[in-house]
């Protein structure tokens, strides 16, 4: 199953609407916010910094970047018109923040335009992450900062025992949502090959047990995908969703993903 984000320009609008809601739901999660703050805190933004977020979606990370001390201008680029429209609506009133259509593989900016380039859960969706990192390198000023944050999605787990059927659902969703679930494992090497120095890699554990939100959306999406590919029938898909909601209600839910960030610099 192809990654819907990788082919976002061809993804039906109804699905893009659904993904836009999931992106904002995830951004509102305090655990997600703490991981974001943690790695952004490792970037030493120079005064009047110009910052680019590549694959900005509905703009939640760009909104945070625009509010950071020292950041004078933030630009978010994405290929989805629908996401960009939502990003503009949600950021009205935030100064010096703009969104435009652009492709990570050929950034529409001159060389040495930015002090920092951020990829937040975007690089794993790109079929050519090498090209995107080369483009980030080109668009950065010397000494500029690269920050990449992604799920180590091969670790996504909701099973509470052997052969838990909810796990099959999560694996189906991850296969459909993420082009490269193993990207994190080769990220340091990719950054070094693109010319970046001093990569710092950190990992974070993300867990949902009481009041799950994001992981429930993943299970539901996986169950729908398994049903639409006829791996299971609609009754089984409904049963998987019901079981996930039951566990959430009774306090038996457990969902976990490891995330990682890499912060590195362009040589001076």
Ligand X SMILES: C[S@@+](CC[C@H](N)C(=O)[O-])C[C@H]1O[C@@H](n2cnc3c(N)ncnc32)[C@H](O)[C@@H]1O
List residues binding ligand X (CB under 6 A). Answer: 5-6, 8, 23, 27, 54-57, 60-61, 77-80, 83, 103-105, 120-122, 125-126
Tell the smallest beta-carbon distance from residue 83 to ligand X (Å): 5
Q: Which residues of 4-41 are buried (b: 16+ CB within 10 A; e: fewer)?
A: bbbebeebeeeebeebbebbeebbeeeebeebbeebbe
- By beta-carbon proximity to ligand X, the closer residue of 52 and 240 is 52
Alpha carbons within 13 angstroms on the beta-carbon side of residue 252 total 10
Tell the smallest beta-carbon distance from residue 55 to ligand X (Å): 3
- By beta-carbon proximity to ligand X, the closer residue of 60 and 171 is 60
Tell the smallest beta-carbon distance from residue 34 to ligand X (Å): 14
Kind of pairing, strands 140-157 and 255-265?
Answer: antiparallel
Tell the smallest beta-carbon distance from residue 240 to ligand X (Å): 23
- By beta-carbon proximity to ligand X, the closer residue of 6 and 40 is 6
- By beta-carbon proximity to ligand X, the closer residue of 15 and 95 is 15
* CB-based closest residue to ligand X: 57
- By beta-carbon proximity to ligand X, the closer residue of 117 and 227 is 117
Q: Which residues in the chain belong to E strands, given as ranges?
A: 49-54, 71-78, 97-101, 114-120, 140-157, 197-208, 255-265
Rounded-to-integer distance, Cα 108 and Cα 83, Å: 18
Tell the smallest beta-carbon distance from residue 92 to ligand X (Å): 18
Decide: helix, strand or coil at residue 101. Answer: strand
């Amino acid at each position: 199953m192809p990654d819907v984000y990788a082919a976002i320009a061809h993804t039906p609008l109804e699905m893009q609407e659904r993904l836009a809601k999931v992106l904002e739901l995830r951004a509102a999660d305090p655990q997600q916010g703490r991981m974001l703050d943690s790695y952004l805190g490792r970037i030493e933004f120079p005064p009047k910094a110009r910052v680019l977020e590549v694959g900005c979606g509905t703009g939640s990370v760009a909104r945070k970047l625009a509010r950071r001390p020292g950041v004078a201008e933030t630009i978010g680029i994405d290929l989805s018109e629908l996401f960009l429209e939502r990003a503009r609506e949600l950021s009205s009133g935030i100064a010096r923040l703009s969104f435009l259509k652009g492709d990570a593989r050929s950034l529409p900016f001159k060389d040495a335009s930015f002090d920092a380039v951020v990829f937040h859960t975007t690089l794993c969706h790109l079929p050519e992450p090498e090209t995107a990192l080369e483009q980030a390198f080109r668009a950065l000023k010397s000494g500029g900062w690269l920050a990449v944050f992604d799920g180590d999605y091969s670790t996504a787990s909701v099973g509470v025992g052997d052969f838990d059927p909810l796990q099959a659902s999560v694996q189906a969703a991850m296969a459909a949502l993420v082009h490269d679930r193993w990207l994190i494992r080769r990220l340091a090497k990719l950054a070094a090959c693109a010319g970046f120095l001093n990569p710092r890699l950190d990992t974070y554990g993300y867990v949902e047990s009481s009041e799950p939100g994001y992981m429930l959306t993943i299970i539901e999406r996986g169950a729908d995908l398994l049903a639409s590919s006829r791996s299971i029938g609609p009754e089984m898909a409904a049963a998987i969703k019901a079981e996930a909601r039951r566990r959430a209600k009774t306090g038996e839910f457990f969902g976990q993903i490891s995330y990682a960030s890499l912060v590195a610099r362009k040589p001076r």
